[in-house]
Amino acid sequence: MTKTFAKHAFAAVAISFGLAACASPKYVVSDITRHHSLPRAPSGESFAIVALDDEQDESLAFDSYSGLIVQRLSGLGLKIFGGESATPDLVVTLKWSVEGPSPDVKSRNSGFGYGFGFGNRHSQFGYGFGAPYENRTSTKQMYTRRVDIVLYDGMTYNTENPKRVFEGSAVSTGTNGQIDPVMPYIVQAIFDQFPGASGETKTVRIEVPPDSEVVNTGQYSSRSSK
């Protein structure tokens, strides 16, 4: 009876560990670098979005990604330019790229151990299970996704010396070279606590829903933030 009870206890522990692993949250992790000369977060200004790359400018993806930026900036109190003046207050440029694949080699020790026991002054019982630790090496092909968003003073954008007021760049790595599924989370990370501290690079983790395409394509990371 005691051995049967111990086996059941061991099975329950193993199942609980498995469920905990399945329920772990997933994140899109981006390293964000920002520089700006803004004395405060803009509010009420108008903005227009343009592409720096002619090919990207003509793509349907640009329209989709621009919509993400419009949502973020509108949520911060800015308004999309509607021709109410000669030029918008701000001109926003967008550019993105994907590089890779490049190998990511990791080495780790793995193993498992479990123990269970009880007793009194007359008898004792113990049960244990263990496996030796072993060194394992795994290799993944990783892609680097980069997004650059720059805000210009609209009055100077078409002059010889356009004035930049905000530069935001994001670098995110994953096992899939498609940037579409992660773009909403990267844009969110760039504008996190906008405009942020100038000259600072920080890691931003955005949690994604369990049924997200990001999770299904393995483009997330569980790396802790800095």
Q: What is the mean pLDDT of the chain?
A: 81
The amino acid at 25 = P
Higher-pLDDT residue of 19, 30? 30
At 85 the pLDDT is 84
Stated pTM of the model: 0.73
Of residues 33, 26, 25, 73, the one with CA closest to residue 203:
33
Closest by CA position to 25, among listed 210, 184, 225, 189: 210
| pLDDT of 145 above 90 | yes
- Can you give the pLDDT at residue 148? 98
pLDDT at 135: 72
- Kindly calculate the radius of gyration of the chain based on its CA atoms and give it in whole angstroms: 25
CA-based max dimension of the chain:
93
The residue assigned the tokens 């760039």 is 190
**In this prediction, what percent of the chain has a pLDDT beyond 70?**
71
Averaged pLDDT, 99-126: 63
Confidence at residue 153, expressed as pLDDT on a 0 to 100 scale: 97
> Residue 131: its pLDDT value, please?
55
Mean pLDDT of 48-75: 95
